[in-house]
Amino acid sequence: MVSRWLKRFYVFLIFLFLYAPIMVLIVYSFNDSRIRGTWSGFTLRWYIELFRDPTILKALYNTILVAVLAAIISTIIGTLAAIGIHNMPGLSKRIILNLNYIPVLNPDIVTAVSLMVLYRFLKLDFGFTTMLLSHITFCIPYVVLSVLPKLRQLNVHLAEAAMDLGATPFYAFRKVIIPEIMPGIITGGLMAFTLSIDDFVISFFTTGNGVSNLSIEIFSMSKRGINPTINALSTIMFLSILILLLIINKRTEKLDERGARIEKN
């Protein structure tokens, strides 16, 4: 009994440590004062000003657009790459997997400088396109690592069984393989989306004049003082991601229950 209580208390402390800063940010997004750490009363003025600030709205638009495009493209490429890696023979598979780990373990500054030098070498104009290509590049390995575990759990004879029943290879891939690994694909897509929104270093080195995301904009603001509207924007983004995760988890649970019922019958 004591051991169970200690474990729960330990978990509580971990989550408190992780989420206490976010809770403080949410509370102070309703603070009437511009001074951080001083409570002057409840207000919604920062949420109203948020939608009146063209600079922040433009940065938010760029951030969401890049994150959505990077998540979609990297999820497609990463899923196909994971399937290809999964079907490789032993030595080749280990080599490619180790190469896939390098961008994950590599410091962001190394990746950022490498991409910047590459774009300079290719004589590309820095801007939205280079930022998008960079986000796709660093998101793909995470998608691969999210999809591979689901492929390992997959019955190796499932696609062959579908084709024996008359399905074409593409139909078997689309209707049999993809639904089975969909939880891993969704996880990889969400991870790519959140990593893209969160990124600063790579975006900073690969963007151009007139194109910035929220992380770059907040970095610029920090030199002259953080605008309280950033607290309001961060609150909205946190709650949006939280709601999205709850919906996807609920949907995944329903799919797992449906699959378990089908297997039982």
Quote the tokens at residue 24: 């403080």
0.85 surpassed by pTM: no
Q: What is the CATH number of domain 43-264?
A: 1.10.3720.10
Tell me the domain boundaries of the chain.
43-264
Which residue is associated with the tokens 């940010």? 25
Closest to 128 measured CA to CA, from 63, 71, 75, 190? 63
pLDDT, residue 91, reads 84
pLDDT, residue 255, reads 63
pLDDT, residue 71, reads 94
What string of pLDDT tens digits covers the 265 residues of the chain?
667 888 888 989 999 998 898 898 888 888 887 776 677 888 888 888 888 888 888 988 999 999 999 999 999 999 999 999 988 887 888 888 888 888 888 888 999 999 999 999 999 999 899 999 999 999 999 999 999 988 888 877 787 788 877 778 788 888 888 888 888 898 899 889 988 988 889 999 999 888 888 888 888 877 776 778 888 888 888 888 888 778 777 766 766 666 666 556 5
CA dihedral 123, 214, 67, 85 (to 10 degrees): 70
Q: What angle do the packed helices 128-153 and 54-86 form, to 10 degrees?
A: 40
pLDDT, residue 137, reads 93
